[in-house]
């Protein structure tokens, strides 16, 4: 009986230690992100996005952890790459990916923006790559793929085939058990979601399932009940504050 009691006591103390460590690590990650939000050298539009993006809460929902290797798909000007850089800490790595389209889109504005963000090794753990999804060099080496507000563009312009091709490339990049993190602007059936730059949540889920992922959770963390889904995401007063969905999926072991 005494041995049994001591074993239970040891197990309880071990659980407390592990839980405390997890809380400490989470608080450290939040502190790093908060510090980065106030860092010099960020893009001129970053502060406008911060409140609506809830970067700390989003990182927690997707399970970003210290030391991870993360792939930020369609990084654009690098807003999320900078947040992820802080989230994974100096022992982690962030690969910030843009397709070749970014070199000519808006006269290369996004490409120039991320180069400026990374100038003089400002984010030392970020590696910027310009490569189309199907040509990425990763194979079972990424802990988490972060794809924010871009799936709708791929799906609306290229259809299901294009979206699945990209998702399967990301699945190949992920380690078994790795996380696929998607956020996008919510669209509804009957609307011209292509023109509005939106996508139905059911479509996201269907695409993930067809690409071989297992859905773990959805979140309305970035919801906006005042968005009736009938306007373009670029509408004045709505931009950066659309009704958005977060979907966390996983590559099976």
Do the beta carbons of residue 52 and residue 105 sit within 8 Å?
Answer: no
3-state SS, residue 217 = strand
3-state SS, residue 168 = helix
Do the beta carbons of residue 55 and residue 85 sit within 8 Å?
Answer: no
pLDDT tens digits, one per residue of 77-136: 999 999 999 999 999 999 999 999 988 888 899 999 999 999 999 999 999 999 999 999
Pairing of strands 174-185, 244-250: antiparallel
Please name each of the domains of the chain with its CATH number.
2-250 (3.40.50.150)
Question: Where residue 20 falls among pLDDT bands split at 50, 70, 90?
Answer: very low
Question: Where residue 146 falls among pLDDT bands split at 50, 70, 90?
Answer: very high
pLDDT at 25: 57
pLDDT at 197: 97
Which letter does DSSP use for residue 198 in this model? Answer: -
3-state SS, residue 184 = strand
pLDDT at 142: 98
Pairing of strands 174-185, 93-98: unpaired
Q: Calculate mean pLDDT across residues 52-70.
A: 96
Q: Could you tell me what percent of the chain has a pLDDT over 90? A: 83
Please count the other Cβ atoms lying within 10 Å of the Cβ belonging to residue 90. 12
pLDDT at 105: 85
Q: Calculate mean pLDDT across residues 147-176.
A: 98
208 Cβ neighbours under 8 A, 6+ residues apart? 167, 180, 182, 215, 247, 249
Average pLDDT, the chain: 91
pLDDT at 60: 96
228 Cβ neighbours under 8 A, 6+ residues apart? none
Q: Calculate mean pLDDT across residues 148-162.
A: 97
Distances (CA, A) of 208 to 53, 132, 250: 23, 19, 9
pLDDT at 17: 46
Q: Calculate mean pLDDT across residues 173-182.
A: 98
pLDDT tens digits, one per residue of 218-238: 999 999 999 999 999 999 999
Do the beta carbons of residue 181 and residue 248 sit within 8 Å?
Answer: yes
Instruction: Answer whether residue 12 shows pLDDT above 60.
Output: no
Q: Is 50 exposed, middle or buried (0-12, 13-18, 19+ CB in 10 A)?
A: middle
Determine the distance from the C-alpha atom of residue 115 to the mean position of all C-alpha atoms in its chain, rounded to a whole number. Answer: 20
pTM, whole model, 2 decimals? Answer: 0.88
């Amino acid at each position: 009986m005494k041995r049994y009691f001591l074993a239970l006591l040891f197990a309880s103390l071990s659980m407390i230690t592990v839980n405390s460590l997890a809380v400490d690590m989470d608080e450290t990650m939040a502190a790093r992100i908060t510090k980065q939000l106030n860092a010099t050298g960020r893009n001129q539009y970053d502060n406008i996005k911060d409140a609506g993006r809830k970067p700390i809460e989003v990182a927690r929902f997707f399970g970003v952890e210290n030391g991870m290797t993360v792939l930020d798909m369609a990084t654009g000007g690098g807003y999320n790459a900078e947040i992820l850089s802080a989230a994974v800490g100096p022992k982690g790595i962030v690969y910030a990916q843009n397709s070749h389209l970014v070199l000519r889109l808006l006269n290369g504005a996004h490409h120039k923006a991320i180069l400026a963000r990374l100038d003089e090794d400002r984010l030392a753990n970020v590696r910027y790559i310009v490569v189309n999804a199907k040509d990425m060099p990763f194979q079972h080496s990424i802990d988490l793929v972060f794809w924010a507000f871009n799936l709708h563009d791929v799906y609306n312009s290229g259809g299901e085939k294009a979206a699945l091709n990209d998702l399967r490339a990301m699945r190949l990049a992920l380690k078994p058990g790795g996380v696929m993190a998607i956020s996008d602007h919510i669209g509804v059936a009957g609307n011209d979601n292509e023109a509005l730059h939106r996508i139905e949540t059911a479509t996201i889920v269907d695409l993930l399932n067809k690409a071989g992922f297992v859905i773990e959770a959805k979140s309305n963390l970035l919801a906006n009940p005042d968005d009736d889904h009938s306007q373009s995401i670029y509408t004045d007063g709505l931009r950066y504050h659309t009704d958005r969905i977060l979907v966390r999926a996983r590559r099976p072991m």
